Amino acid sequence: MLRTQVVIIGAGPSGLLLSQLLHLQGIDSVVLEQRSRDYVAARIRAGLLEQHSVDLLVEAGAGERLQRECLVHDGFLMAWEGEVHRIDLHALAGKRVTVYGQTEIQQDLAEVRARSGGDIRYEATDVRLHDITTARPRVSCTHRDQAVEIECDFIAGCDGYHGVSRRSIPAEVLRTYERVYPFGWLGVLAEVPPLNDELVYANHSRGFALCSMRSRTRSRYYLQCPLEDTVEQWSDQRFWDELRQRLPAAHAARMTTGPSIEKSIAPLRSFVAEPMRYGQLFLAGDAAHIVPPTGAKGLNLATADVRVLHRGLTEFYRNRGRTLLDEYSQRALSRVWKATRFSWWFTTLMHKFGEDPFALQMQRAELTYIASSRAGAQTVAENYAGLDFDPDVVAAIR
């Protein structure tokens, strides 16, 4: 039987970042990932980072290329019914956001982890958790046709929404909250310059649209679409035609189109599982919570969890202190619920839910309120750019 201090399940951003931060504190871990390294590296997902996520990646030694290649944005645009309003994040919240693809983060983390001799086992199947509530938990799996069993002090469940970790917590212990939205996002990546310097979020009677980017030459665009749609139904031509219709005329007129590099449809969901700890198992990132992508909070919540969890584990190995670990779930969830609220609210504001005239008037009233009130716009800016950590969390993890 192998032995390590922390077994980390999942080599997404949460798992790799945690293992690297622990390594910097002299704490050993083994990462078990069910997919291949190439598969994990190729997934196109998040694009927008809050400052605390950038800071943590830099602290982990994975920020060098990020700082060289990222785009820093001071604001973003909200558009509806011919109106365009800019949310000035810097003026309203004193913050900026960073555009840098999750694909790049994944690559940077994998490289620093490889350089520092990280033990990451890709294509580990049938991962199972044992004796979670004892001081000697174990994780078993099959790796390269061999049965592997690892004894450890702690298990970090960083295996995303569909992972095995959360499902290893007994149903009577776990409370879950969920909202499934009646539409999806069709995303397209294309090697074309972004139509605007900053992101554009558009509420339109045909449905929501988002213009994002990965660099000055690569764009990431999204359209609200029916959940039943398949990518085969969306030719590039149909996608561009639909996007053009949903954007303000001036933006649509300057849009450059081109062949798509990637096209996918993602369902939208809000989900929170409480508590985020059971015995020696700690959940982090999408394993514990999912938000709809409208607020760009998913990856940022994952890094926030990892920030608290790695400090808790460090405290334990330094002086056997358990305070931070005992408070992990409560501290992480306080931020999770606020981001869940913002993501739900922003989704509700910007998407088409049906033809209900009252709901449409509520959206219109809210949008014009935000455009005319500094207080209204400031609330959006503060949440979008990322809330400060609660003062007691800051004090605890210093």
Which CB sits closer to ligand PHB, 288 or 296? 296
C-alpha to C-alpha distances, 298 to 53, 153, 191, 326, 368, nearest whole angstrom: 11, 28, 25, 24, 27
Task: Decide if residue 166 touches ligand PHB (CB under 6 A).
Answer: no
Q: Does residue 10 bind ligand FAD (CB under 6 A)?
A: yes
Handedness of CA 84, 186, 337, 386 (dihedral sign): negative
The yes or no reply on residue 189 touching ligand FAD (CB under 6 A) is no
Min. distance of Cβ 346 from ligand PHB in angstroms?
Answer: 8
Name the one residue in this structure whose structure tokens are 């994990």.
40
Burial of 151 (0-12, 13-18, 19+ CB in 10 A): middle
Q: How far is the CB of 342 from ligand PHB (least distance, A)?
A: 11
DSSP secondary structure letters along 270-318: EEEEE-SEETTEEE-GGGTEE--GGG--HHHHHHHHHHHHHHHHHHHHH
What does 63 interact with, of ligand FAD, ligand PHB, none (CB < 5 to 8 A by kind)? none
Q: What residue 163 binds from ligand FAD, ligand PHB, none (CB within 5 to 8 A, per partner kind)?
A: ligand FAD
When binding is defined by CB under 6 A, the residue of 3, 115, 136, 162 that contacts ligand FAD is: 162
Burial level of 217, CB count in 10 A (0-12/13-18/19+)?
A: exposed
73 is catalytic: yes
292 binds ligand PHB (CB under 6 A): no
Look up residue 395 and give its DSSP letter.
H
294 contact, one of ligand FAD, ligand PHB, none, CB 5-8 Å limit per kind = ligand PHB
Tokens of 248: 């303000």
DSSP 5: S
Q: Which of 222, 278, 293, 352 is catalytic?
A: 293
Q: Are 286 and 305 in contact (CB under 8 A)?
A: no
Report helix angle 323-350 to 374-385, nearest 10: 130
d(CA 309, CA 282): 8
Binding mask 177-216 for ligand PHB (x = CB under 6 A): ----------------------x------------x----
With contact defined as beta carbons under 8 Å apart, do 202 and 210 qualify?
yes
Q: Note whether 383 and 335 are within 8 A (CB).
A: no
Catalytic residue among 100, 122, 201, 278: 201
**Residue 384 appears among annotated catalytic residues:** yes
CB of 359 to ligand FAD, least distance (A): 25
Query: In 163-177, which positions are buried (b, 16+ CB within 10 angstroms) versus exposed (e)?
Result: bbbbebbeeeebeee
Residue choice 207, 293, 312, 386 for contact with ligand PHB (CB under 6 A): 293
Give yes or no for residue 118 binding ligand FAD (CB under 6 A).
no
Candidate list 95, 297, 310, 352, residue with the active-site label: 297
Q: What residue 220 binds from ligand PHB, ligand FAD, none (CB within 5 to 8 A, per partner kind)? A: ligand PHB
- Identify the CA nearest to 329 among candidates 105, 169, 164: 169
Three-class DSSP category at 34? coil
Task: Give the position of tokens 């996002």.
Answer: 185
Catalytic-role residue among 23, 73, 310, 352: 73
Measured from the CB atom, the residue of 292 and 312 that comes closer to ligand PHB is 292
For residue 95, indicate whether it is catalytic: no
The structure tokens listed for 361 are 């008037």
204 annotated active-site: no
Residues in the chain: 398
Q: Does 48 bind ligand PHB (CB under 6 A)?
A: yes
Binder of residue 137, out of ligand FAD, ligand PHB, none (CB less than 5 to 8 A by kind): none
> 355: helix, coil or strand?
coil
Minimal CB distance residue for ligand PHB: 47
286 binds, among ligand FAD, ligand PHB, none (CB under 5 to 8 A by kind): ligand FAD
Pair of tokens at residue 369: 């309120």
Minimum distance from residue 302 beta carbon to ligand FAD (Å): 4
Q: 297 an active-site residue?
A: yes
Q: Which residues bind ligand PHB (CB under 6 A)?
A: 46-48, 199, 212, 220, 293-294, 296
**Residues acting as catalytic residues:** 73, 201, 293, 297, 384
Q: Which residues bind ligand FAD (CB under 6 A)?
A: 9-15, 32-35, 40, 45-48, 102, 124, 127, 158-160, 162-164, 185, 187, 266, 285-286, 293, 296-300, 302
